[in-house]
Structure 1
Amino acid sequence: MARTVKGGPDARRERWKGHREARRAEFVEATIRAIAEHGPDVGMDEIAAAAGVSKPVLYRHFADKSDLYLAVGRRGTELLMDQVVPAITGGGPIRARIRGIVDAYLGVIEQNPNLYRFVVRKSFTDRPVEQDVVHEDKQLIAAALARLLGDHLRAYGMDSGGAEPWAHALVGMVQNAGDWWLDRQSMTRASLSDYLTTIIWHAVDGLLRSGGVTLDPDAPLAAGSPALRLVDAEEA
């Protein structure tokens, strides 16, 4: 069996791979800065200027504009999930949890409006892209919500079969409302978060009441309640 010596071809290959990945990450961050400054219709000239390199250097690290778009979209997904997932998995009264999830999502698009439009419009790409970054984001968030809803419904002895379509419906509602708000800005983020929280809570409340369960949305879960036992089990 051939042995790999320190500093041999395999080690050099791994170092070069690491260098290329680091450079790609740097160029993605530069692209995000250029998008923030120039808007979602940013061009490669502005991106190269933000990165401090020439366009040919960019194209050494990305096959084409679509490749760069996907890399930026995946970075946008990381930024989104870094805020939304902790809100989904956090504790507290149910209405506060709902508001935290909604506000986390709206906060990300408020802080990165041009990046959000850049990813959603896909106008930057020079060929169709196989991966739909926006669809992938929705799937990830909906899957996390579906697990949360399903676990709580089962904890109360209720049918959890609707958890997945419920989760997708909620994600779609919040995303569409966020799109509208980002363009209109006719109310504050706090106001929109409150409105959406009210709609979602009443939907959840109606579902629970249909199974004979009544919860105070603003009170901590009572000791011994199925939902609290579920949380304790997850944290154990």
Structure 2
Amino acid sequence: MSGRPDGRAERWRAHRAARRAAFVDAAFRALDRHGPDAGMAEIAREAGVSKPRLYRHFADKAELHAAVAERTSALVCDRLRGAMHDSASPAARLRAAIRAYVGVLAEHPGVFRFVRAGRLGGQPGADCEAAAGVVATLLRGQLHAFGIDSPAAAPWAHGLVGAVEAAGAWWLDQDDMPQEAFVEHLTVLVGGAVNAALRSVGVPPEGREPTRQTREDDHDHSRSPA
């Protein structure tokens, strides 16, 4: 054997990956058009193929759910990272992140409901895990800025993401709350929770100097031998 890669096999894998991606695109459109109960028939019709053709790429709706959840996770995380990267202060990053997340919900309500319903039915929550990872990174950054090493960032992040997701599910069923008003309410809630959590481990409110204990600890560390 030559050990060289099989060009035909590589092209076939690339073709199948592209087809799966196109079918996930079609699933997004079908779910947003028909709602979370859209079936494989509606998705196949949106993709312009027969159901048997769709089943060549997804064994069942659960496998399609996993692919849609993965795409949703990537979309949410990209939006969150972009929003936080473009904002200067922690408060501005928080508001931008919530606005970005709510924006995804507003763009793809059927997809959000489909992913959430599947997860509540026992599917893994990779989308929430990924979003919580982004939030945990932000929280760790704030802790480290004050020289605090705490394992609290991960549980805080998962709690915040779960609360925001539940609020988002509620908001999608409302007809009388504008999107920006919802963003503002969530920002106040999450901002208060984050500030309280950070204060509990010694991080002062935004814009203030580190606490006396933090300064003393930093001074002690600076005097300790390397």
Q: TM-score range by the shorter chain?
A: 0.7 to 0.9
Aligned to 1:137: 127
Query: TM-score, normalization: structure 2?
Result: 0.80
Alignment gaps of 5+ in structure 1: 218-236
Report percent identity of matched pairs.
Answer: 46
Displacement of 1:216 after TM fit? 3.8
Paired residues for 1:35-50 under 5 Å? 35-50=31-46
Once the two structures are superposed, what CA deviation does each residue of 1:43-70 show, in whole Å capped at 9, x if it has no partner?
A: 2222221111111111122222222222
Q: Give the distance between the partners of 2:136 and 2:68, measured in 1 at CA.
A: 27
1: distance between equivalents of 2:13 and 2:198? 52
TM-score (norm 1): 0.77
Is 2:173 the partner of 1:177?
no
**What value does the CA root-mean-square deviation take over the aligned residues?**
2.6
Cα deviation digits, residues 185-218 of structure 1 (max 9, x gap): 431121121122122323344455563734349x
Given candidates 139, 148, 155, the residue that maps to 2:138 is 148
Aligned residues: 207
Distance of 1:42 and 1:11 partners within structure 2? 37
Change (3 A) 1:11 1:106: same
Comparing both chains, which one has the higher relative contact order based on Cα–Cα distances under 8 Å and sequence gaps of 6 or more?
Answer: 1
Q: 2:63 aligns with which of 55, 61, 67?
A: 67
Alignment-derived partner of residue 204 in structure 2: 213
Which stretches in structure 2 are left out of the alignment for 5+ residues?
209-226
1:92 aligned partner? 88
Tell me, in whole angstroms, the C-alpha distance in 1 between the residues paired with 2:8 and 2:196.
Answer: 61
The offset of 1:151, in angstroms, is 2.4
Change (3 A) 1:216 1:36: same
List per-residue Cα deviations over 1:146-189 (Å, max 9, x = no partner).
Answer: 22212212322345332222222211221111111111243112
**2:147 counterpart of 1:157:** yes
Preserved CA contact (<8 Å) 1:88 1:144: no
Task: Tell me if the contact between 1:88 and 1:145 (Cα under 8 Å) persists in the aligned partners.
Answer: no
Aligned position for 2:185: 195
Query: Any idea what the Cα deviations from partners look like across 1:97-120, whole Å, max 9, x if unmatched?
Result: 111111111110111001111111
1:65 maps to a residue whose letter is K
1:16-71: CA deviation from partner (whole Å, max 9, x where unpaired): 11111111111111122122222211122222211111111111222222222221
